Structure 1
Amino acid sequence: MSALTGKNFIGNERSEGNGKTFQAINPATNEALSCEFFKSSAADIDHALTLATKAFEIYRQKSSQEIAMFIQCIADEIKALGDDFIARASDETGLPKPRIQGEKERTINQLIMFSRLVEEGSWVNASIDQADPNRLPIPKPDLRRMFVPIGPVVVFGASNFPLAYSVAGGDTASAFAAGNPVIVKAHQSHPGTSEYVASAIIRAIKKCNMPDGLFSMLHEAGTETGMGLVKHPATKAVGFTGSLRGGRALFDAAASRPDPIPVYAEMGSLNPVFLLPHALAERGEKIAEAFHQSVTLGVGQFCTNPGIVFGLDGKALQDFSHNVAKRISETEPGTMLNRGIQQAFAQGIQAVSNYSGVTKLASMQDQADDKKTQGGATLFTTNAKTFLENEAIKKEIFGPCSIIVSCESKARLIDLAHSLEGHLAASVHGTKKDFEEYADLLSVLRTKVGRIIMNGFSTSIEVCASIVHGGPYPATTSAHMTSVGTLAIERFVRPICFQNFPQEMLPDQLRDENPLGIWRKINNEFTRSVINNK
């Protein structure tokens, strides 16, 4: 690939925005990296969305095969990105090169998943209720329904996943798959990585003869561009992964528009862990080892990081706590994604340390090297009473930190579960006997999270049709959706119904002959069959 330009992508063209620039910082060295990136202007926002609106009229008419080939082409272009791309992503994020390579593969596979979903075609959820002119007291009309795209989607790149949740990540892939143009607000921490991927998308657009304006990407080091994109009248939906503060600000801005639009924001989550007594007694050491690995994975910078643990007070929980504390004290501090995240982590650790009733069991924060933007793994403990009375303890500390809460009884454990806000996931470690005795706990958790894991931890996410990466507020702004997996496509569509249309005027997905061979619900029965009216 040619050298980075630092310019904004306005459709297939480049822009120097308002002329002001910023540079990416290597968090491991705190040194500025090569290339100055141009901050986008208000004119860039308007131009990008004007182009996107025009592109939408063309793109939404493309066949499933054409869209599938385009998304596959993006995957191929990203696959072709070489060592210079991996090195730049590592330099901008502090993430090791093997992690970047693994995330690259995940991003490619995610794109391929959506390409296949579109090619197969049944995702449009076609439903047909045939007419019955003889029905009494009034005739029944012919009604046919399917999903259709909504228009330009704004996607915010995430700091902690520079590939899988960024320029060509799940939000972009699902929006393209649904038939929508995408405008990305690149994350300011990894603008060079973003340019590599944006260039790959533009190459795919040109190779597949897709319309100019189908994709744009804007740089900015603050919040002005993001707010401008959300408030622009041409924007129809927003995908965001980040902090509760950031997601809520975008949500409120979208709701205050003359025409409110949905913001699908994935935000803060503690991802609680429940240690049931029989499992803790039988395999507490193994659980402690796996828990430590989960908490410290990627310097704790996962939205699925297990930030709180609940268990019954007693020797088994004490042994577990000491085991984890020992492992924490042997874990070297690691470089965090950027200075802002590192400072917020340090402030969060300090705040919890000062709370009455909270004990610090182990911490490597004092050994963290500020010059390397490091954070040190930390473990706290408290009791149920303190946890219930202190709302601040229930807030996410983004990084390698967790707090163990001891409960005096099963009833108290259930009370704690009831007190939880919405989270992305919850993990429950137990035996068959535990699960029988704590069935009411599992029932409560169904109302609190988007995913429940038995005898595992939340940091592992399988990207597939059945996954749910979402949850009640404040984990997300839309508990009925997911940002990972094929169901994510439904964020960027709406249903439309065609009543009494002649066959030749219907979309292929709704015609009697079912030319695409998709699954449809016909008179309340799922089938791939054609409709024979003879």
Structure 2
Amino acid sequence: MTDRIALATDLDTAAADARRAFAATVASTAADRAAWLRAVADELDAHRDELVAIADEESHLGQVRLNGEVARTTAQLRLFADAVLEGSYLEATIDHPNPAATPPLPDLRRILRPLGPVAVFSASNFPFAFSVAGGDTASALAAGCPVIVKGHSAHPRLSLRTAELVAGALAAAGAPDGIFSHVTGRETGVALVQHPEVRAVGFTGSLHGGRALFDLANGRPDPIPFYGELSAVNPVLITQAALDARADELATGLAGSFTLGVGQFCTNPGVVFVPAGSGFAERVAAAVGAAPAAVPMLTDGIADAFAGAVGSLAARDGVRVVGGSAEQHAGSGSAIVLATDAATVIADTDALYTECFGPSTLVVEYDSVDQALEAIAKVGGSLTGSVHAEPGEDVSAIVAVLSEVAGRVLFGGWPTGVAVSWSQQHGGPWPSTTTIHTSVGVTAIRRFLRPVAYQSAPESALPDELKESNPLGIPRRVDGRLVLPA
């Protein structure tokens, strides 16, 4: 199996293999794909200790965090297996003929079908859950799309070993040759997005890198979907009543959230709005403490970028450093708390809303909730928006603004920590993501499917999901009504 993975480092070979595999995956059954996904999950669980040890050496994230991430990764593989068998993700829809309709309605049957080979870019900050066997790979395989993974340079040994295990598990479960490949290198990644056999891309990473690949995907002679998760500051608004009731609790919660994983989470609460004169920033700084982080950041490049970003932010007029130091040392990941006011943010949004990927937060004091909402409306797209209020407070205006700028609105919680479920939405307006779709949860599968309608087709030409007898027993919409299996 190692030789097979080595062979896949040739992109053209991997792409040709994936195209051939698609002929089999597009015709595969739900039971087939569920078995493939569960086989991968079982293999990763069986090698958890080995994988965690490699990941800890390369990422410095600690065995507790990494064990939890393996569990999340295998759980989402099994969740997609369940979803494939349940069948509602296909949006199977049947309209029976109605010659009396205007215009006359023929027999129409619609279903979602896989796009073709998918490119997946591993993320640096989640070496399992958003990497080689992460959510993008799981959802693409569940859809019936072969996958070519571009491994991340932050954890090369882990990527290769995980790829070996995934490929071996798929082969043992009877998946077609070429359904999964692993490639490496920046230039290979660029070529992967442009390769004519690739029909969609899943990406988690920086705004700069993601935008460059997004433009390549759209600049192809045949543009393809690029599902990128890029950048977010994830605004939080705390009301006066909430501060009066539990200021210390909120400060401790915020400190724990923005320093979790040395701040290397896409859902970090990067800008937090609080009433003027509350002294909340000082409470947060006290909760964080002055000691540097106990573990280094993922890479020296990430640490240097973080130091530059917080240094630039601290140098802006009207911004002050409340806790920590703006002079970060490469690799240290020392936490920093900064503060300003809403008027300054409104006047300088482009600079003050820049994501600092690391353990920092900007506390913004507001004179009124309306002023805070004016500032939040300028934040651009974020993955999350949070409100901390007390029971009985009218937060409808706050929720309306947060819903405009974020894909997930939290009430009384902190955004770090993304559950994997049917209803999860992990995506938001630009620049948090490039599309309206989620990259976490069951509906992430929708990214790698396209609708096909069959008109007046004979029963023998229809996929089982659209046959009149519903042999698979999946939920379907028939003549406008949702019909659930008995």
Gaps of 5+ in 1: 18-39
Hey, what's the Cα distance between the residues in 2 that align with 1:411 and 1:100? 42
Cα separation, 2, equivalents of 1:404 and 1:452: 19
Counterpart check, 1:146 vs 2:111: yes
For the pair 1:517 / 2:484, whether they are aligned, the reply is: no
**2: CA distance, partners of 1:94 / 1:291:** 23
Distance 1:506 1:354, change over 3 A: same
- Kept in 2: contact 1:417–1:441 (CA 8 A): no
How far apart are 1:365 and its partner, in Å? 6.0
Q: Output the CA distance in 2 between the equivalents of 1:13 and 1:358.
A: 50
Preserved contact between residue 365 and residue 376 of structure 1 (Cα < 8 Å)? no
CA contact (8 A) 2:292 2:333 kept: no
The superposition leaves residues 75-97 of structure 1 with CA deviations (integer Å, 9 ceiling, x where unpaired) of 00101114332111101111101
AA aligned to 2:477 is K
> What amino acid maps onto 1:295 in structure 2?
F
Task: Pick which of 459-468 and 170-179 moved more.
Answer: 459-468
| Matching of residues 94-105 of structure 1 within 5 Å | 94-105=60-71
Q: Of the candidates 486, 491, 494, which is equivalent to residue 450 of structure 2? A: 494
Do structure 1's residue 312 and structure 2's residue 272 form an aligned pair?
A: no
Q: CA deviation at 1:329?
A: 2.7
Tell me, in whole angstroms, the C-alpha distance in 2 between the residues paired with 1:284 and 1:331: 22
1:339 corresponds to which residue? 300
SS state at 2:106 partner: coil
For 2:235, the equivalent position in structure 1 comes to 272
Question: 8 Å contact 2:292–2:332 — kept in the other structure?
Answer: no
> In 2, distance between residues paired with 1:48 and 1:137?
49
Q: How is 1:98-177 mapped onto 2 (pairs within 5 angstroms)?
A: 98-133=64-99, 135=100, 139-177=104-142
Equivalent residue for 2:354, pick from 359, 378, 395: 395
Structure 2 gaps of 5+ residues are none
Distance 1:339 1:137, change over 3 A: closer
Note if 1:211 corresponds to 2:176.
yes
1:392 Cα deviation after fit = 1.0
Aligned residues of 1:304 and 1:458 also touching (Cα < 8 A):
yes
Specify whether residues 167 and 382 from structure 1 end up closer, same or farther in structure 2 by C-alpha distance, changes over 3 A only.
same
Q: How far apart are the structure 2 equivalents of 1:282 and 1:82?
A: 43
Answer yes or no: is 1:93 the counterpart of 2:52. Answer: no
Q: Is the 8 A contact 2:475 2:483 kept in 1?
A: yes
**SS of residue matched to 1:292:** helix
Task: Indicate which of 6, 13, 38 corresponds to 1:14.
Answer: 6
Amino acid at match of 1:54: R
Identity over aligned pairs, percent = 41
Taking the aligned partners of 2:102 and 2:399, their CA distance within structure 1 comes to 48
With normalisation by structure 1, the TM-score equals 0.88
- Provide the C-alpha distance between the structure 1 equivalents of 2:265 and 2:48, rounded to a whole number of angstroms: 26
Residue 446 of structure 1 corresponds to 403
Spell out structure 1 runs of 4+ moving beyond 6 A: none
Counterparts of 1:100 and 1:498, CA distance in 2? 46
Matched, 1:48 2:14: yes
For 1:516 and 1:433, the matched residues in 2 are separated by 48
Q: Aligned in 2, Cα 1:185/1:374: closer, same or farther, shift over 3 Å?
A: same
- 1:61 corresponds in structure 2 to 27
Shift of 1:59: 1.3
Q: In the TM superposition, what are the counterparts of 1:239-254 in structure 2 within 5 Å?
A: 239-254=202-217
Corresponding residue of 2:334: 376
Q: Secondary structure at the match of 1:452?
A: strand
Equivalent residue in structure 2 for 1:360, among 313, 321, 332: 321
Residues in 2 aligned to 1:83 and 1:441: alpha-carbon distance in whole angstroms? 45
- Name 1:423's counterpart in structure 2: 382
Q: Could you tell me which residue of structure 2 aligns to residue 432 of structure 1?
A: 391
2:48, 2:129 → 1: CA distance? 17
